[in-house]
Structure 1
Amino acid sequence: MKTTNQQPTTVRTSPRWKQPLISTGCVLFASLLMSVNIKSFVRAGNLIPGGFTGLSLLLQRTAETFFGIVLPYSVINIALNAIPAVIGFRMIGKKFTSYTVLMIVLNSFLVDLIPVTPITYDPLLVSVFGGILNGTAISIALFGKASSGGTDFIAVYLSSRLHKPSWNFVFGINVVILTTAGFLFGFEAAMYSIIFQFVSTQTINTLHRKDQKATMFIVTRHGAMLEQKIMECTRHGITHLAVQGCYLKEDKDMLYTVLGEDEVKEVTALVRSLDPEAFINIIKSEGIAGRFYEEPLE
């Protein structure tokens, strides 16, 4: 048995001009989708969607209801995200934080500019479909290596450190925000907001697969070749074991590796193209401890 942990000289990379286009496109679309969601579903149901978006809406509504002051959403949201953005630059990555700041600014001003266009006033439909749109918008931003800011910074940072999804932890923080909203404006809207946030969290967990891990066992006659190609593709370490098939008594190799669920399809296709007779077993990993390569957010 041998464990292969050295970094290969060839690494899967996208052209340098391609990633900025993808990130910018994702940020633009996610900002528009989130803004439309706020003005169509969130406003219609008087929901507080959680996170700094929800906190901004809560402060805006509190100022207007109790003090008669109309504050622009853009001013509140940008001000609240200032400190998390500084922390993001230092602890997460400059490019990731830069695209996130772009999304915060775009979303903030779009919310002020887009007219209110309610689709339905049914609170349950608003909570469910609004939550789906919110989770989809955040997932698109994450695919573009950005986020919607605020508590998303916490989720991304914890996920990179713990090697597992942390969006449910952020959901717990949001419940505190929503409980506060319940005391101020009534618990019916707050409870529907919790449904909204729960649906949003589960949508992210479903669509954003990078934080979820899978264990892959590959039985092949071409272990040396496959281990090198897989490492060039993913940069993850591989354990190489010499095994014997019990039916034909043939000596074979078994490769064991852990990778992100978003990489499973690509690695499976790679193995199939190099060894069509390879046997692949994929198992969901609940958690890992130890060294695991994470693509830097920069």
Structure 2
Amino acid sequence: MDDKNSTWYTVKRFLLIIAGALLMAFDLNTFVHAGGLVPGGFTGLTLLIKECALRFGGVSVPFSIILFVLNAIPAAISFKYIGKWFTIYSGLMVILTGLFTDWMPAMFIQVIQLHDELLSAVFGGILNGAAICLCLYAEATSGGTDFIAIFISEKYRKDAWNYIFAGNCVILLLAAFLFELNRVLYSIIFQFTTTMTLSGMYRGYQQRTLLIITGKSREVYELIREMTNHAATSFSGIGRYEMAEREMLYSVVSAGEVNALVAAIKRLDPDAFINVLKTEQLNGRFYQHPKD
């Protein structure tokens, strides 16, 4: 795990944010623009406001200005309640995405000239998911509704993603009312592809349950505690094959910690029997790494 106070860690976060912002801006100017898509969250709302201003008011408002205004209050809430550096890096992602989207040279935009809405929705969703993953690997977010969801989750211990999904549905309904229904349907494919890409590439918000049968339960528990800061519960039993006493440790850890932890346990106890289960739902106290 990187030292959060090291220069390399800071440089890596900056590079990931810049790469994520560039990729998202490229996606907005190519696949999203070509397919007339409406992404979820504040990005989709920004595009919707921008198009309404142009179509009904004849005013061309820069993408970045609308995005910055929409993110101002959520960013202030995040800075106060979630974390200073987390918000600063997330804000940097928002700023760079807005500026890159407005300033990206036409020569790069013209690389993608698609006339197929389905291809735009699928590949645009993949690029969008990859851009968000880069941002998450930098321990930041792409702003907007992510600020709101994390704030509600950490302050009130409630899952806010259903509310975010409802907000996205409202944006899509407005787009369907104002523009064309097929744009909305392709936008749903775009959002679904984004979600699937995120699920496959980033596992930071997923958990895994470990069932470990070992003769070195105390040492294995200390290892789990040291590597993940998670605890474990032990159960005593009888191994029927050898009719010998055994202990089973039950622990839930973050999905991204599993491979390194299992390898360390096997080095400590080569005879350990480890079953890794996907955790669908978790209630109760679970250690979350601090945002700062």
Q: TM-score range by the shorter chain?
A: over 0.9
Which residue of 2 is the match for residue 42 of structure 1? Answer: 32
2:103 aligned with 1:109, yes or no? no
Q: Distance in 1 between matches of 2:163 and 2:211?
A: 31
Q: Which runs of no fewer than 5 residues in structure 1 stay unpaired?
A: 1-11
* Superposition pairs of residues 280-291 of structure 1, within 5 angstroms: 280-291=274-285
Q: Distance in 2 between matches of 1:180 and 1:24?
A: 36
Q: Distance in 2 between matches of 1:158 and 1:119?
A: 40
Which residue of 2 is the match for residue 3 of structure 1? Answer: none
Counterpart residue identity of residue 268, structure 1:
V
The more displaced of 46-55 and 154-163 is 154-163
Among residues 79, 84, 96, which one is paired with 1:89 in the alignment?
79
The more displaced of 159-168 and 257-266 is 159-168
Counterpart residue identity of residue 65, structure 1:
R
Q: Per-residue deviation at 1:237?
A: 1.3
Which residue of 1 is the match for residue 15 of structure 2? Answer: 25
Describe the SS at the equivalent of 1:108: helix
The more displaced of 191-200 and 76-85 is 191-200
CA contact under 8 A between 2:129 and 2:195: conserved in structure 1? Answer: yes
Q: Per-residue deviation at 1:240?
A: 1.9
CA contact under 8 A between 1:175 and 1:194: conserved in structure 2? Answer: no
The more displaced of 25-34 and 115-124 is 115-124
CA contact under 8 A between 1:165 and 1:205: conserved in structure 2? Answer: no
Q: Per-residue deviation at 1:197?
A: 1.1
CA contact under 8 A between 2:217 and 2:248: conserved in structure 1? Answer: yes
Q: Distance in 1 between matches of 2:163 and 2:203?
A: 17
Which residue of 1 is the match for residue 269 of structure 2? Answer: 275
Q: Could you say what the CA RMSD is over the residues aligned between the two structures, in angstroms?
A: 1.9
Q: Per-residue deviation at 1:129?
A: 0.8
Which residue of 2 is the match for residue 253 of structure 1? Answer: 247
Among residues 230, 239, 242, which one is paired with 2:236 in the alignment?
242
The more displaced of 68-77 and 283-292 is 283-292
CA contact under 8 A between 1:73 and 1:111: conserved in structure 2? Answer: yes
Counterpart residue identity of residue 110, structure 1:
F
Which residue of 1 is the match for residue 167 of structure 2? Answer: 173
Identical-pair percentage: 41
Q: Which runs of no fewer than 5 residues in structure 2 stay unpaired?
A: none
Q: Per-residue deviation at 1:278?
A: 0.6
Q: Distance in 2 between matches of 1:27 and 1:43?
A: 22
